[in-house]
Amino acid sequence: MSARGVAAGRSPAAQLWREFADSKVAVGALIVVGLCMLAAIAAPLITPQNPYDQSQLVLFDARLPPGSVGSGGYVHWLGTDAAGRDLLSAIIFGLRISIGVGVASGTIALSIGSAIGLLAAFRGGLVEAAVMRLVDLQLSFPAILLALVLAALMGQGVAQVVTALVAAQYAYYARTVHGAALAERRKDYVEAALGIPLSTRRVMARHLLPNALPPLLVVATVQIANAIAIEATLSFLGIGMPISEPSLGTLIANGYQFMLSGRYWISVYPGIALLIVIMSINLVGDRLRDVLNPRLKR
Amino acid sequence: MTGGLPQCTLTPVSVFILQRAATGLVVIFAMACIVFLGVYAIGNPIDVLINPAADQVIRRETIARYGLDRPLIEQFWVFLSALFTGDFGSSFVFGTPALPLILAKLPATLELAMSAMVIAIVLGIPLGMYAGLRHESVAARVIMSGSILGFSLPTFWVGLMLILVFSVELGWLPSGGRGATVTILGIEWSFLTADGLAHLALPAFNLALFKLSLIIRLARAGMRETWLADYIRFARAKGLSPARVIFVHAFRNILIPIVTVLGLELGSVIAFAVVTETIFSWPGMGKLIIDSIISLDRPVMVTYLMLVVTMFVLINFAVDVAYAALDPRVRETRT
Amino acid sequence: MSAPLLMLAGVGKTFRRKPSLAERALGRTTRPLRAVDGVDLALAPGEVLGLVGESGCGKSTLGRIAAGLLAPSEGSALFRSRPVAEEAGGRLVKHTTAIQMVFQDPFASLNPRMRVGEAISEGPLAHGLWRREEAQAKVARVLRQVGLDPAYAGRFPHQFSGGQRARIGIARALAMQPAAIVADEAVAALDVSIQAQVLNLLAELRKELGLALLFISHDLSVVRHLADRVAIMYLGRIVETGPSEAIFEAPSHPYTRGLLESVPRLDRRRASFRPVSGEIPSPLGPPPGCHFHPRCPAAIARCAAEVPSLRVLGDGRRSACHLASV
């Protein structure tokens, strides 16, 4: 942390926010992420049409270009897809699924991975060696391939995709927490706390964990963005989300065939939405990493 | 020193290499166990190896051949020996043995992967180093924003966009397939023909984009950290020309994390090729595996997995050795 | 003379790196590091004992054994006749809170995410020395004791200067109401003027509270002013002990003499220095016999063959040298 907070009584969290907010881009990205999440949560309330309600779809409206007025009487700002769904509504609902799956798998993977990493760091010895070898083994295998195979074996569906993503990603969290815990464990303040003496459990919870959070935060943002991208890829390839719950990837896959005949919007707009979400999360994670990197501070 | 104990004459480097080789073998073995468990113990092996549409005669033959009615331990042993022969059965879809099927497609994938890596390295390192050196400049900021874009964009979507822009709208490059090939050493390569290059350009760039962004960021971060280091300041104080300082001193240290990541990423490039090949209809291993996943052609899946794991292990091993050559500290390291 | 608070008898500590799988497969074992070798040391109540030695001589390890942060490989470390710490089930269990440690790096030894008031009160609250309601008042009291404004209790370590952090470290140790404090290079990281302030603080606290102090340092001038008795350490062994002034005025052991002669002093203008020749050998392969003999100007044949014991020289002085006369 910089020494600028000396006079004021800023906690490390407040100081972190200060430095994070120095970058307008990062703050902007954070706002975008917030908006996307809000849109995803409020999807049924803000869309003119529920794209999965068959009764609301009119085949006559299929493949309308952006800006045209459909038989429902409202403007289809982003056009319609092959089944007559309003693309804007479909995108917002798709956003809901993409973000939902990404955040859910990220959270679960974080919990499992952190627990494993902490356990390994504190137990040491054979347990640590065995667990971390397993983690390293998995890390040397690209997440997408693992997710691909698992999803293929388990079939389509939310639970299956989340499981595949968690299995593919927990290792990153485990490795990060393990490394941070090891680094912190060697520091003087941990030795000082243990030397009073304070119980191992207490030191782990009150001293080690809070200080291991920064790298965890950075990894979490990157991994959630990653999860969203992998899920989109799986859905695009036809192995991820089923048609009944289409994510942005599925939407893009649906529109793929129309691209070559000039009806580009069916694929392009969901793609842009995906891009915005992923990029914003990455920008936030990027700024976090820069702010938390002690080696760049002189 | 310690009299009495027989002194081994192996150097620390040899120990290091031995260790890595041992680890690699363990990885392959572990993967074999996992695949075996997934396919034989959990799944019904009969469904895995025998086409559901096969008739009774073939079923009985296959059961006998692979010993599918034998105890699990025996089956595991058979599986392990299959590792050496590479015979995991015949494809349901094509009816031919799985391994040769996959290997026939390997050169196409390798060609694509290598081209992507070359693009990523040749463009990435200089761009990243520049962004690191002149990190306040406009150009640097553009490069960095571009790099974030590069790894935020899902590969498949970039592929679609590339086709849209360069094939459909501009008509400069073909939208799919592999170009004309030239046969060298019995293998067909397409990058040696103009038509082949035209077909290679878009998919290779698509595949390269993610790695390119990664390398730019790594090179930049490495450049910034190294530039602030004392030994660089010392070199500059000595009066060495900036070019020499950059290329002789800083470069080596930037190279180390890049080599590490390259090794890991080479494997993932091969994995990501799956997506690119599907979009561009590139006739490689990746497309084969997607098709076999969708059609549940399990022998091909199993063979592909084991093949990929073995390749990863070999690549990682090569990277570790290169790492030891670049970083003298590693040679002295106790694990 | 009352019974000593801290009693180290024959204490030894060996560190051994666990061989990796590859090394075990090749039949190689790792070389042990003998950080502390056969140390006898006693700390009386209210006494300040200075432990002096150069980097790598094992004084920090010895300090940690005394404070219960490490268990000795051989020998016993007793505090009020009970072992300070014992290994139970692979874990170290410290039996007493009456001996506390103050660390060298005042920044690294404080949790950067914990307010100093919390850091100070954590130990006493966990051990039931303080009740929750009185914690704030007690923190204020101990902060005043070390010369800091109690209003600082809500601040974070990075908001303080080096000297202030050193005081906070001392406050944390004091909060446990110890009978003895082990100060491991507690002032080494500070500017000289701040060093003086912190040393004065320690001296005052010692007078006020009757604290015993094991003061570890490589800086002779600092030790001279604070310590009643001094022990000199070289490569894991104690080579000389005795009253502070006596050792500084008339050092007996050749190493002590060499150390004192190589200290630059403002009141003596010298044309040349006579540093101790050679370099400190690696603790992984120490010289046989007396560890110092390769660098000793007075070494005889016996020095390479036989380890000298700490022999009594009278006046409470001891020296580990074959040439020491009674």
Sign for the CA dihedral angle at A40, A41, A45, A49 comes to positive
Number of alpha carbons in the 13 Å side-chain half-sphere of residue B129: 16
Specify whether the CB–CB gap between A78 and A87 falls below 8 A.
yes
Asked if C149 reaches chain A (Cβ–Cβ under 8 Å), the answer is no
Specify whether the CB–CB gap between A67 and A77 falls below 8 A.
yes
Residue A259 confidence class, pLDDT cut points 50, 70, 90: confident
| CA gap B48, B40 in Å, rounded | 8
| CA gap C288, C303 in Å, rounded | 9
The pairing of strands C74-79 and C212-217 is unpaired
Counting as contact any 3 or more CB pairs under 8 A, the partners of B are: A, C
- Chain segment B69-114, per-residue pLDDT in tens: 666 677 777 777 777 776 666 676 677 777 888 888 888 888 888 8
- Chain segment C73-125, per-residue pLDDT in tens: 999 999 998 999 888 777 788 989 999 999 998 888 999 888 899 999 999 99
Asked if C108 reaches chain A (Cβ–Cβ under 8 Å), the answer is yes
Asked if C18 reaches chain B (Cβ–Cβ under 8 Å), the answer is no
Which tokens go with C240? 């000389």
Residue B331 confidence class, pLDDT cut points 50, 70, 90: low
The closest alpha carbon to A277, from A45, A63, A30, belongs to: A30
Cβ neighbours of A10 in C, within 8 Å: 156
Asked if A259 reaches chain B (Cβ–Cβ under 8 Å), the answer is yes
Asked if A236 reaches chain B (Cβ–Cβ under 8 Å), the answer is yes
Omega prior to A197 cis, within 30 of 0: yes
Distance to chain C for A261, nearest Cα, Å: 59
Burial of C155 by CB count in 10 Å (0-12 exposed, 13-18 middle, 19+ buried)?
buried
Mutate to test the interface with C, among B7, B13, B16, B19 (most CBs of C within 10 A): B19
Inter-chain touch A196–C93, beta carbons under 8 Å: no
In whole angstroms, how far apart are CA C118 and each of A154, A255, B188? 50, 59, 70
Q: Is the pLDDT of residue A65 over 80?
A: no
- Chain segment A91-150, per-residue pLDDT in tens: 888 888 999 999 999 999 999 998 888 888 877 777 787 788 778 777 777 777 778 777
Cβ neighbours of B156 in A, within 8 Å: 232-233, 236-237, 249, 252
Nearest chain A residue (CA) to B168: A260
Residue B229 confidence class, pLDDT cut points 50, 70, 90: confident
Asked if B165 reaches chain A (Cβ–Cβ under 8 Å), the answer is no
Residue A2 confidence class, pLDDT cut points 50, 70, 90: very low
Distance to chain A for C61, nearest Cα, Å: 13
Mean pLDDT of A34-47: 85
Inter-chain touch A296–B161, beta carbons under 8 Å: no
Residue C197 CA from chain centroid, whole number? 20
Cβ neighbours of B10 in C, within 8 Å: 26
Cβ neighbours of B5 in C, within 8 Å: 27-29
- Cβ neighbours of residue B248 under 8 Å, at least 6 residues apart? none
DSSP states along B307-321 = HHHHHHHHHHHHHHH
Nearest chain B residue (CA) to C284: B1
Residue A235 confidence class, pLDDT cut points 50, 70, 90: confident
The partner residues of C41 in beta bridges, in order of sequence, read C8
| Selected residues 4-63 of chain B with any CB under 8 Å from a CB in chain C | 5-6, 8, 10, 15-16, 18-19, 22
* B10: nearest CB among C26, C31, C285: C26
Counting as contact any 3 or more CB pairs under 8 A, the partners of A are: B, C
Inter-chain touch A271–B164, beta carbons under 8 Å: no
Rounded-to-10 torsion of CA A259, A265, A268, A274:
-140
The partner residues of C93 in beta bridges, in order of sequence, read C86
Q: Is the pLDDT of residue B2 over 60?
A: no
Helix (H, G, I), strand (E, B) or coil at A194: helix
Specify whether the CB–CB gap between A147 and A180 falls below 8 A.
no
pLDDT of residue C92: 85
The closest alpha carbon to C304, from C281, C325, C326, belongs to: C281
Low-confidence ranges of chain C (pLDDT < 50): 1, 326
Inter-chain touch A195–C101, beta carbons under 8 Å: yes
Q: Which run of H or E residues covers position B182?
A: strand B182-184
In whole angstroms, how far apart are CA C31 and each of B1, B4, B138, B214, C282? 10, 14, 55, 42, 12
| CA gap C41, C84 in Å, rounded | 14
Counting as contact any 3 or more CB pairs under 8 A, the partners of C are: A, B
Nearest chain C residue (CA) to B21: C22
Tokens 């200067």, residue located? C161
Which tokens go with A266? 């069916």
The partner residues of C181 in beta bridges, in order of sequence, read C100, C213
Nearest chain B residue (CA) to A222: B152
Distance to chain C for B78, nearest Cα, Å: 29
Nearest chain C residue (CA) to B8: C26
| CA gap A227, A222 in Å, rounded | 9
Asked if A207 reaches chain C (Cβ–Cβ under 8 Å), the answer is yes
Mean pLDDT rounded to a whole number for chain A: 81
In whole angstroms, how far apart are CA C58 and each of B198, C43, C282? 69, 18, 12
Cβ neighbours of C21 in B, within 8 Å: 19, 22
pLDDT of residue C133: 93
* C123: nearest CB among A191, A196, A211: A196
Residue B41 confidence class, pLDDT cut points 50, 70, 90: low
Mutate to test the interface with A, among C93, C101, C159, C185 (most CBs of A within 10 A): C159
pLDDT of residue A61: 67
| CA gap C18, C12 in Å, rounded | 19
pLDDT of residue A4: 41
pLDDT of residue B1: 42
pLDDT of residue A297: 42
Cβ neighbours of C284 in B, within 8 Å: none
Inter-chain touch B22–C22, beta carbons under 8 Å: yes
| CB pairs < 8 Å spanning A and C | 73
Asked if B96 reaches chain C (Cβ–Cβ under 8 Å), the answer is no
Mean pLDDT rounded to a whole number for chain B: 75
Cβ neighbours of C100 in A, within 8 Å: 195-196
pLDDT of residue C216: 94
Which tokens go with C311? 């022999």
Mean pLDDT of A155-183: 86
Burial of B241 by CB count in 10 Å (0-12 exposed, 13-18 middle, 19+ buried)?
exposed
The closest alpha carbon to A151, from A240, A249, A245, A250, belongs to: A240
